[in-house]
Amino acid sequence: MRDDGANSGPELLLTLRRGAGAPALGIQVEDGLREAIRAGRLRSGDRLPPSRTLAHDLAVARRTVVGAYEQLVAEGWLEARTGSGTFVRRALPGLAVPASAAVVPAAPEAPAGPGRLRYHFFPGHPDLSAFPRAEWGRAVRAALRDLPDSAFGYGDPRGHRELRVALAGHLARTRGVVCRPRQIVICQGAVQALALLVRSHAERGAPRVVVEDPYLPEHRDVLAHAGADVVPVPVDGLGIRDESLVAARPDIALVTPAHQCPTGVVLAAGRRAAICRWAQESTALVVEDDYDAEYRYDRAPVAAVQSLAPDQVAYLGSTSKTLAPGIRLAWLVVPEDRLERVVAAKRYADAGSPVLEQAALARLITSGAYDRHVRAARRRQRERRDALVAAVGEHLPDARIEGAAAGLHAVVRLARPVGARELVAAAREREVGVHPLSEYRADPSPETTGVVLGYGALAVPAVREGVRRLAAALSEVG
């Protein structure tokens, strides 16, 4: 399949930089194409190479090229013609006329990653169609009606007080988190929380930050960009290895005890205790990323590690898995002795988060609507989880499913390693998006022993059909 478009478009001279400091590949592809058009190397009416061909030539994921094409179509540089491909637009927007920027039609949003494949087992999303639009709208209206004028001024950089009070109660009740509202810093998503933690430490030198291996590559990039020296420590069947963690002598240890990201392992009680003990004896900070704790299906949730050592553990949660990532609301519970520095980092990062989202979420929590929404989402996701487990049992009888007791994703351990790129390609052929476990390793290998399957955004029939197609893909590459 890789050759099908090799002769069907112009040769494109795009040079991509890789490694630390290089911009995202998608942006480089976009910029390169735009520059090629601007410089006349690509002319109106020229046909672009099929995305698969260009992706192959550039050694990038096909979705990277598809995304770049979509962006340029939205900006008016390219046009997609059904059935015949992507072309440089015939009537190009004026290249130097400012007003023309405004008349580029507002294209529909470029579909986000998960939308491009019919069965995309994307682990980062809840079901975006379940975002409670009506309740959120009511909460915003109530906030607009009730907030005093002063709430629209520059506020406390920690965030809107009503939300911090509501969260302190909610987190105590649901996760055993021990805190006062003053210790809560509202952040723009977990990404900002991680960046603030690193930066608040940076005046004492670049902090060594332990992450679990495997981990989310995006988090490693955020930590490194904020100035951390990132040290991966292996995860086994009981969670992160506490002895290796201690031996790494980190300033900060970022862990996901409730449902390790991405393996789904629950951190064993003995290791929780050992890590807390170590933190109490050192000056290190443990950061507990409780990213999907709301989704636990089979037994009572274990309380947050923060409850064992509130002076040593910062607790991080968000609405990205319960409501939607686009709301960009996260909360960081900070031990008292770190609080000033983290608040200063937030003040100098953006002077505080927008008030209306915060006031809306506070209302949803205090009215009980947030709990009701989470319960309904948990019921829905449990059905999907059950469908996933059943479909894996049916179509992949040799595989083992792990980490399915909680969260919005599970890991399918394969009977034998397969080539990761080959698997992704074979799955894509069948409109299935999968993420090999090897993508999450500090030292990625070309073969993978498992697949991370996010089911949060797929309805039950799609989960079943997706697993069936995945099994077919595996049989091809296995």
The 8 Å CB, 24+ separation contacts for 203-210 are 203/341, 207/250, 207/251, 207/252, 208/248, 208/249, 208/250, 208/251, 208/252, 209/250, 209/251, 209/252, 209/253, 209/254, 210/240, 210/245, 210/248, 210/250, 210/252, 210/253, 210/254
Nearer to a copy of itself, 266 or 333 (CB): 333
Strands 78-81 and 313-318, bridge-based pairing: unpaired
Strand spans (E) along 109-247: 119-120, 184-187, 208-213, 229-236, 239-240
- Options 44-52, 238-246, 285-293, 349-357: segment touching a copy of itself (CB under 8 A): 349-357
Cis peptide before 262 (omega within 30 of 0): yes
- When binding is defined by CB under 8 A, the residue of 192, 322, 381, 448 that contacts a copy of itself is 192
Residue 27 found at the interface with a copy of itself (CB under 8 A): yes
Contacts of 19 (CB under 8 A, 6+ apart): none
Residue 380 found at the interface with a copy of itself (CB under 8 A): no
Contacts of 255 (CB under 8 A, 6+ apart): 212, 239, 240, 267, 275, 286, 287, 288, 289, 305
Taking the C-alpha atoms of residue 475 and residue 138, their distance in angstroms, rounded to an integer, is 50
Q: How far is the CB of 467 from a copy of itself (least distance, A)?
A: 23
Nearer to a copy of itself, 180 or 400 (CB): 180
Q: Find, among 289, 290, 283, the residue nearest to 337 by Cα.
A: 283
- Rg of the chain over Cα atoms, rounded to whole angstroms, equals 24
**What residues from 166 to 185 belong to the interface with a copy of itself (CB under 8 A)?**
166, 168-170, 172-173, 176-182
Binding mask 277-316 for a copy of itself (x = CB under 8 A): ------------------------------x---------
- Options 54-62, 338-346, 389-397, 413-421: segment touching a copy of itself (CB under 8 A): 338-346
Residue 229 found at the interface with a copy of itself (CB under 8 A): no
- When binding is defined by CB under 8 A, the residue of 203, 283, 298, 461 that contacts a copy of itself is 203
- Going by the DSSP 8-state scheme, the letter that residue 104 receives in this structure is S
Residue 374 found at the interface with a copy of itself (CB under 8 A): no
- Options 54-62, 190-198, 284-292, 376-384: segment touching a copy of itself (CB under 8 A): 190-198
Residue 29 found at the interface with a copy of itself (CB under 8 A): no
- Options 27-35, 238-246, 376-384, 416-424: segment touching a copy of itself (CB under 8 A): 27-35
Would you say 176 and 304 are in contact if contact means Cβ atoms under 8 Å apart? yes
**What residues from 62 to 101 belong to the interface with a copy of itself (CB under 8 A)?**
71, 74-75, 96, 98-99, 101
- When binding is defined by CB under 8 A, the residue of 7, 11, 15, 109 that contacts a copy of itself is 109
Nearer to a copy of itself, 111 or 234 (CB): 111
The DSSP line for 414-429 is EEEEEEHHHHHHHHHH
Pick left, alpha or beta for residue 46 (phi over 0 → left; psi -120 to 50 → alpha; otherwise beta): beta
Helices (H) and strands (E) in the chain, counts: 15, 16
Nearer to a copy of itself, 338 or 428 (CB): 338
Nearer to a copy of itself, 284 or 327 (CB): 327
Binding mask 43-62 for a copy of itself (x = CB under 8 A): --------------------
Specify the residue for token string 């200063």.
344
Strand spans (E) along 89-155: 119-120
- When binding is defined by CB under 8 A, the residue of 10, 113, 417, 419 that contacts a copy of itself is 113
Residue 220 found at the interface with a copy of itself (CB under 8 A): no
Contacts of 293 (CB under 8 A, 6+ apart): 174, 175, 258, 259, 301, 304, 317, 406
Residue 195 found at the interface with a copy of itself (CB under 8 A): yes
Q: 3-class DSSP state for residue 290?
A: coil
Taking the C-alpha atoms of residue 191 and residue 298, their distance in angstroms, rounded to an integer, is 29
Phi, psi of 314 (to 5 degrees): -90, 140
Q: How far is the CB of 71 from a copy of itself (least distance, A)?
A: 8
Interface with a copy of itself: number of residues (CB under 8 A): 99
Q: How far is the CB of 132 from a copy of itself (least distance, A)?
A: 10
Residue 153 found at the interface with a copy of itself (CB under 8 A): yes
Residue 397 found at the interface with a copy of itself (CB under 8 A): no
Taking the C-alpha atoms of residue 70 and residue 472, their distance in angstroms, rounded to an integer, is 30
Q: How far is the CB of 27 from a copy of itself (least distance, A)?
A: 6
- When binding is defined by CB under 8 A, the residue of 46, 80, 85, 115 that contacts a copy of itself is 115
Q: Which amino acid, one-letter code, is at 61?
A: A
Measured CA to CA in angstroms, residue 448 lies from 212, 232, 395, 478 at distances of: 18, 18, 19, 11
Residue 248 found at the interface with a copy of itself (CB under 8 A): no
Residue 446 found at the interface with a copy of itself (CB under 8 A): no
Residue 189 found at the interface with a copy of itself (CB under 8 A): yes
Specify the residue for token string 């790494």.
248
Residue 273 found at the interface with a copy of itself (CB under 8 A): no
Residue 152 found at the interface with a copy of itself (CB under 8 A): yes
Q: How far is the CB of 244 from a copy of itself (least distance, A)?
A: 27
- When binding is defined by CB under 8 A, the residue of 41, 47, 225, 421 that contacts a copy of itself is 225
Q: How far is the CB of 310 from a copy of itself (least distance, A)?
A: 8
